[in-house]
Structure 1
Amino acid sequence: MNKALSHQEPDQVPISDFFWGSFVKRWRKELNLPDETNPYTYYDLDWIVTIPNMDPKIQSFETIKEDETEVVVKTGFRTTMRKKFDFPMPEFISWEVDTIEKLEKFEFDDPYDSRRFFEAGDNQIAGVGDGFERNSPAWIETVKKLHPDFPVYGSIIECSECLTRLLGQENTLFWMGMYPDQLGVQINRIGQFYLDCMKAQIKAADGLLDGMVIWGDVAYKQTMLFDPEYWRMYFKPWVKAMIEECHNNNLPVIYHGCGNVQLIFEDFIELGLDAYNPLEVKANMDAVKLKKKYGNKISYCGNNNIQVWESGDKEQIRKEVLFKLNAAKGGGYIFQSDHSVSSNVSGQSYDYIVKLVREHGKYPLHLREFDETI
């Protein structure tokens, strides 16, 4: 991982991913694997991300409804969420912070509170996703368990991700237009809170982290969700501060942001970001084209078309995998999907993908008819 991120060619291209729980269940069943098997250990994948408690309020979920089909809870973001057990992702129903005045009065719990890192408990990001989990294990115990076998990355959300969860996307975008300066003040307050959360996380890990992921969606399929200049004014400084703090602690940084971010991609290069993820293909992101344009100014993580993986077509999967490995020439590429591995990917398809990368991702690369000059 470190060699690839420093634009050197390691022995092979690093590979890992983010897996839906429903995919893992399907993968075990289709490959006839024991119930406790996970893809990270089975394939000896090359890095793994951990999630501490980043909720603004450290509290147990308030259960509003629960039956055999769904659960509705209010979380530490003071957000009400519905998780239908048969559906892959949860639904955001409502937000307690639904006016700019409520946001201005909202009080965040201490970012340095030890419960975020050293105690089990409910938290929205770890607990309400493609699955549903109460009382998530203490983050530090997860780190200690994984560290002997994997490069372990911590993670932190930045301002835009907090706003989506705390206010909702609609309120966030409306308030940018209605109260740009007022909201900007609150963005700066949120930025400081999560910078402090990240500092506390690094301290709590006490040398056990190998890197950091910053989560922050600011774009969709076509382009950015809002004006790039507004991002540069209020969001970019906090991303910069996070990257600098990580680098001061010898931690490389991977930024995970969905959508088409080409309008601000050079900003991330300017900030010294180590790698960008997931580089969604359906949002017109292409790691090979980016590598040709920007070379080793940044590394590229992801960009393998999950829709091709979901098709199960081995010929198309082989073409996609080998072509995107061109971005690994000279280092600077981590192989992953262009978001996460969904339940629509078969166990056999993912098994085939890993074997392709292990075979063709050894240096020097031999990509056959898919070889490109970089």
Structure 2
Amino acid sequence: MAMTTWERFKRTFEHREADRIPITDDPWFTTIRRWNQEGMPQNTDWTEYFDIDKVVHINIDISPRFPKKIIEENDRYIISTTPWGVTTKEFKNAESTPENLDYKVVDADAWEEAKALMTLDDDRIPWDMLKNHFDEWRSKGYWIRGNFWFGFDVTHSHMMGTDTTLIAMMEEPELVQDMFDTYLDRCEKLFTRIWDAGYHFDQMWWWDDMGYKGTTFFSPQMYRDLLQPYHTRGVNWAHDRGIYAELHSCGDVMTLVPDIVKTGVDALNPLEVKAGMDSLQLKKEFGDKLVLHGGINAQQWPNAEAVIAEINEKVPILKQNGGYIFSSDHSIPDDVSLENMKRIIETVKKAGSY
């Protein structure tokens, strides 16, 4: 008998086998557009179309809410400022990482201005969405995530920039630690308000990309000194409420995994193959402690035969004794056809069944 998404995820986080492994992912908007052109009906929930698991998200706003302004716009792109004070360039008809052109918060004085604006106003919580949808999510057996955001990633990608952040970690560690503390404090307080209102979710998730191709942005020792205490605190917030905690960290973080495990985190995503992550080695070393999520090379997905071979090689090992969630090692790009996606999902369901 088929399980609900909630039942499937619950057993997976308990390191027990379910009917099959959970299947979830994030297609680009241009990927959805392609699938619509190739036969998937318009305005269709793609997870229902492929009959995979339904994960829903609760997001909050902890930004300084700097004014958003359009600086330049044409048919191809738009240059604008974000609520985090970053000037970005985004292309209109293609999915890509925004190009950050300039940063407002580049020193301690600018941070103090931003920090004062990171208030705890009630409109930072999506109350209407929760009132309108939460009961339906529960009745249909969806898996519900509360999305935190704190640590290195938000600092270097949405606040100060990579170079400025890394230099500050060396020369002004107290500055970046105050930033890490502030982000987490705002998340804890706003999500506690949500929790206390009766909207109990199943998992705390946060993004903190700490690696790139072949290595990390900083050493394991710097992770232990500056960042690990906040990761541990975030995990403890979740565990104090009886829910799970999952870290998303792009890039190669293999050298950090032993210390990540010590935070008590329950799951790690996305296990980026192209950066150097080895999901099979992680399963061997940490599979009894860590739920592995991802680890299937997104660059292979346009080639159905290649990705099917990778799935058949890895999934039977990763699924053993539970503890594995299927997805690409980042997201689903728009060079993946509808037909290829159908074959991928069919293969995963077969290889991932118990």
Normalising to structure 2: TM-score of the pair? 0.88
In 1, Cα distance between equivalents of 2:235 and 2:311? 30
Tell me the residue number matched to 1:366: none
Shift of 1:241: 1.2
From 60, 64, 76, give the equivalent of 1:57.
Answer: 64
1:48 maps to 2:67: no
Tell me the residue number matched to 2:275: 283
CA 75–140 in structure 1, closer or farther in 2 if over 3 Å, else same? farther
Which digits, 9 at most, give the CA deviation of each residue in 1:332-368, with x for residues without a partner? 00011011111122221111111111122110xxxxx
Tell me the residue number matched to 1:126: none
1:28 maps to 2:36: yes
In 1, Cα distance between equivalents of 2:320 and 2:126? 41
Structure 1 runs (4+) deviating above 6 angstroms are: none
In 1, Cα distance between equivalents of 2:77 and 2:62? 22
Shift of 1:300: 0.3
From 16, 25, 31, give the equivalent of 1:8.
Answer: 16
In 1, Cα distance between equivalents of 2:119 and 2:191? 8
In 1, Cα distance between equivalents of 2:139 and 2:27? 21
From 161, 177, 181, give the equivalent of 1:184.
Answer: 177
Which digits, 9 at most, give the CA deviation of each residue in 1:89-134, with x for residues without a partner? 22212111122332244324455422122368xxxxxxxxxxxxxx
In 2, Cα distance between equivalents of 1:140 and 1:231? 39
Tell me the residue number matched to 1:351: 342
8 A contact 1:116–1:139 mirrored in 2? no
183-192 vs 327-336, which moves further: 183-192
Tell me the residue number matched to 2:6: none
Question: How does 1:280-319 map onto structure 2 within 5 Å?
Answer: 280-310=272-302, 312=303, 314-319=304-309
Question: How does 1:172-321 map onto structure 2 within 5 Å?
Answer: 172-203=165-196, 206-310=198-302, 312=303, 314-321=304-311
8 A contact 2:120–2:186 mirrored in 1? no
In 2, Cα distance between equivalents of 1:99 and 1:111? 20
CA 119–194 in structure 1, closer or farther in 2 if over 3 Å, else same? closer
Shift of 1:216: 0.6
Letter in 1 for 2:11: K
In 2, Cα distance between equivalents of 1:109 and 1:142? 30
Tell me the residue number matched to 1:79: 86
Which digits, 9 at most, give the CA deviation of each residue in 1:39-90, with x for residues without a partner? 2221232242425233422466323333433222222111122211133222
Which digits, 9 at most, give the CA deviation of each residue in 1:219-244, with x for residues without a partner? 11111101222221221111111111
Shift of 1:141: 4.6
Indicate the SS of the match to 2:214.
Answer: coil
Letter in 2 for 1:337: S
In 1, Cα distance between equivalents of 2:258 and 2:184? 21
In 2, Cα distance between equivalents of 1:175 and 1:19? 35
Shift of 1:4: 0.7
8 A contact 1:81–1:91 mirrored in 2? yes
In 2, Cα distance between equivalents of 1:111 and 1:331? 41
8 A contact 1:195–1:241 mirrored in 2? no
Tell me the residue number matched to 2:149: 157
Tell me the residue number matched to 1:369: none
In 2, Cα distance between equivalents of 1:259 and 1:212? 21
CA 85–148 in structure 1, closer or farther in 2 if over 3 Å, else same? farther
CA 53–339 in structure 1, closer or farther in 2 if over 3 Å, else same? same
Q: In angstroms, what is the RMSD of aligned CA positions?
A: 2.3
CA 332–221 in structure 1, closer or farther in 2 if over 3 Å, else same? same
Indicate the SS of the match to 1:19.
Answer: coil
Shift of 1:160: 1.0
In 1, Cα distance between equivalents of 2:127 and 2:83? 15
Unaligned runs of 5+ in 1: 121-137, 364-374
In 1, Cα distance between equivalents of 2:99 and 2:346? 36
8 A contact 2:155–2:161 mirrored in 1? yes
Residue identity over aligned pairs, in percent, reads 26
CA 71–345 in structure 1, closer or farther in 2 if over 3 Å, else same? same
8 A contact 1:72–1:81 mirrored in 2? yes
8 A contact 2:249–2:269 mirrored in 1? yes
45-54 vs 264-273, which moves further: 45-54
218-227 vs 175-184, which moves further: 175-184
In 1, Cα distance between equivalents of 2:88 and 2:77? 10
In 2, Cα distance between equivalents of 1:71 and 1:228? 38
8 A contact 1:23–1:345 mirrored in 2? yes
Q: How many residues align?
A: 342
Tell me the residue number matched to 1:171: 164
